[in-house]
Structure 1
Amino acid sequence: MLRGFTTINYFADDVLAAANWYQEVLGVEPYFRTDVGGQPAYMEFRIGDYQHELGILDSRYHPGGPVDAESAGKGVAMYWAVDDVEASFQRLLELGATEHAKPTEHGPGFVTASVVDPFGNVLGVMYNQHYLDVLQTRTAK
């Protein structure tokens, strides 16, 4: 039934500020933007080996209502593949994220960590040998 990851949406009260923060994190500019009332309501990045989509959506469109400080960091963690979890984790902290879960090895070839971005979203990073194995088979063709 599930065929693969397509888009993840993170929510922010200030879409432009969040998009600027993620532009700094990712090193790429958003490729898509939708405005409502002259203000950005949605901005989207394409990133990584498979050009997955990371969208920043105005909090007013959150299905459960706006995220408050009490619920920040309690959302689902989606892990982005990285080559160095510790370095990625430290860089995110340096850019203003807060610790959610320290780097932890879950067995050979599987290390995770997560932060809460400045807008209350959980951002996970992971070294995942399976991801690299699949990528290798796809690029070896």
Structure 2
Amino acid sequence: MTTTQGIQTVLHPVTDLEKAKTLYAALLGVEPAADSPYYVGFEAEGQQIGLVPNSDMAAPISYWHVADIEAKLAEITAAGGTVKSASKDVGGGRLVATFADPDGNVLGVLQDPS
């Protein structure tokens, strides 16, 4: 069994990116590290908080950072999880995937490039 590096990334679906950006900047006490029309990302105290407009996410998704995303997905499915979105490169070699636990909660795994 492989271990995780903990939850380090949480993505939030938003409907009004500008209003959400203002609120999260106030909450976190930092300005965005990434700021584009399709994603605004903050880095605060070792956490990456992302705002995703026009998303199909029904709720925020927590991403567990892992060293080997495919190995972790295999362990998750063997333990009863269901892959919702297979691993994909979202830029710069960063891989993400989502899965559902037996109760339907959607969680994510994330592998940064080596």
Q: What TM-score bracket applies, with the shorter chain setting the length?
A: 0.3 to 0.5
> TM-score when scaled to structure 1?
0.39
Name the structure where helix makes up a greater proportion of residues: 1
> TM-score when scaled to structure 2?
0.48
